[in-house]
Structure 1
Amino acid sequence: MPFDTDRHCLVTGANRGLGLEFTRQLLARGDRVVAACRQPGRAHALNQLVGEHPGRLHVLPLDVAEPKSHAELARELPLVLDGGRIDLLLNNAGVLHSGERFGKVDPAILDHSLHVNATGPFLLTQALAPLLADGGTVANLSSELGSIAGKDAFRTPSYAISKAAQNMATALLARALAERGITVLAFHPGWVRTGMGGGKAPVEPAEAAADMLATLDRADASLSGRFVDRKGEPMAW
């Protein structure tokens, strides 16, 4: 369903790339945004936006891989958002470790990828569930690299495994939150020109973010628990 004005939004990994672009576009729409990242003091672009949007943007610390950080964020949110209500949660924070080779996959890297890309967003959503507005939306930033059906080569195993796990987390969260009318979906944003995607990626962050927000504008229960591209078309699990 279309979003109302003065929506309350939370964006993780908001200091750069798609997270920063989501923050910019949500503010341009007139929404109130909490932009979360690991080191707010170093998030210069975010802090500049705070000055440009007084009272509508708050930057808070969050390490998505640390459950203690989730609890601290949950305590802070009611202080910066009226009642702490979250209408849109964008689980954008993620990590990709490149250069992995079969036989040399580092257990610590695989574990870190799972914590940041899969268990982190799942546990964060669980921790923030009391603050999610009935009828609200949770969007998880996934990837086609997490598609089991689409796997045709051995590459980025830690990232691929963690995104496949995140897709399952999306499906489970959709079931858990269905009785409150909360839509939960997983996005493949495309190959986006960010620090993670690299300079050869064909899609600009502004285009990817705009397409995903347009999809969220029309999202309803029929998309909940689904894995879709940025325009809402189904992706293979």
Structure 2
Amino acid sequence: MSPAHRPRRVLVTGASRGIGLEFVRQLLARGDHVIATARHPGRAQALNHLAGEHPGRLHVLPLDVADPKSHAELVRELPLVLDGDGARLNLLINNAGVLHSGERFGHVPLAQMDDSLRTNVTGPFLLTQTLAEHLADGAVVANLSSILGSIARVDGFHTPSYAISKAAQNMATVLLAQGLSERGIVVLALHPGWVQTDMGGDGAQIAAEQSVAGLLKVIGNATQADSGHYIDWQGAPLPW
């Protein structure tokens, strides 16, 4: 842990694998206290192994980001795992998401559209709204977006349910930034790059370690002037 780094209380969604798991690893290495969520914590072997290595600093809780009832259950658990009476979160990383591959024009099913919107848009928006009272003034909300949500960058009919949901999530980021501005809470839409994960698939260019290190640097440098912005993992602004 850097001498200049003050430990934060962080909640990471979708933490069982990929970028979410790497966020947990790097946050723990920095000395932060982490609440990591997964739909099925009992199956999250790597996450539970980390919890065993960092007793008291990593708590693993169940969360289905697409289910508001699950949000309420998480909130009931928070006082039991937040360190200190009245303690609040300094950073919320809305990482959980879903991508349905293989979609073709004329054959995009309603079920996949609904699932993408619930998981990638409605879920993070409502979860942030529910957790707002548990966020410290001046906290950061990091929404993991994608360049595929950039309307200006569309060059073909690619992953429509995912792309539409990420574009909508970008709007949710801007609205949350407005709604939380009075408390100095910064809300960011962050593109992690094409990352070598299960979701990233074959041909991905960036290691999860590199992406997360860059994202944490962007988050650490963010100010109120950056709130509501769409930024990549290296800090470059992206077109809506």
Query: For this structure pair, what is the TM-score category when the shorter chain's length is used for normalisation?
Result: over 0.9
The residue number in structure 1 matching 2:23 is: 22
Question: Relative contact order, CA 8 A, sep 6+: which one is greater?
Answer: 1
1:193/1:205 contact within 8 Å kept: yes
Q: Please give the secondary structure, in 2, of the residue aligned with 1:99.
A: coil
Structure 1 CA distance for aligned equivalents of residues 235 and 136 of structure 2? 22
The residue number in structure 1 matching 2:76 is: 75
Q: Which contiguous aligned blocks of 4+ residues in structure 1 show a shift greater than 4 angstroms? A: none
Equivalent of residue 234 in structure 2, options 223, 231, 234:
231
Structure 1 CA distance for aligned equivalents of residues 50 and 124 of structure 2? 25
Equivalent of residue 117 in structure 2, options 114, 118, 125:
114
Q: Please give the secondary structure, in 2, of the residue aligned with 1:101.
A: coil
- What is the TM-score with the length of structure 1 in the denominator? 0.97
> Are the structure 2 counterparts of residues 57 and 84 from structure 1 closer, same or farther at C-alpha, using a change threshold of 3 Å?
same
1:38/1:62 contact within 8 Å kept: yes
1:4-43 deviation per Cα after TM superposition (whole angstroms, max 9, x unaligned): 5220000000000000000000000000000001000000
Unaligned ranges ≥5, structure 2? none
The residue number in structure 1 matching 2:8 is: 7
Q: Please give the secondary structure, in 2, of the residue aligned with 1:89.
A: strand
1:163-220 deviation per Cα after TM superposition (whole angstroms, max 9, x unaligned): 0000000000000000000000000110000000013211000000000001111100
Identify the range of structure 1 (168-177 vs 147-156) with the bigger mean alpha-carbon deviation. Answer: 147-156
Structure 2 CA distance for aligned equivalents of residues 219 and 188 of structure 1? 15
Identical-pair percentage: 66
Equivalent of residue 94 in structure 2, options 88, 91, 94:
91
The residue number in structure 1 matching 2:39 is: 38
Structure 2 CA distance for aligned equivalents of residues 206 and 11 of structure 1? 16
Query: 1:146: Cα distance to partner?
Result: 0.5
The one-letter code of the counterpart of 1:214 is: K
The residue number in structure 1 matching 2:55 is: 54
The residue number in structure 2 matching 1:105 is: 108
Q: Please give the secondary structure, in 2, of the residue aligned with 1:149.
A: helix
Query: 1:231: Cα distance to partner?
Result: 1.5
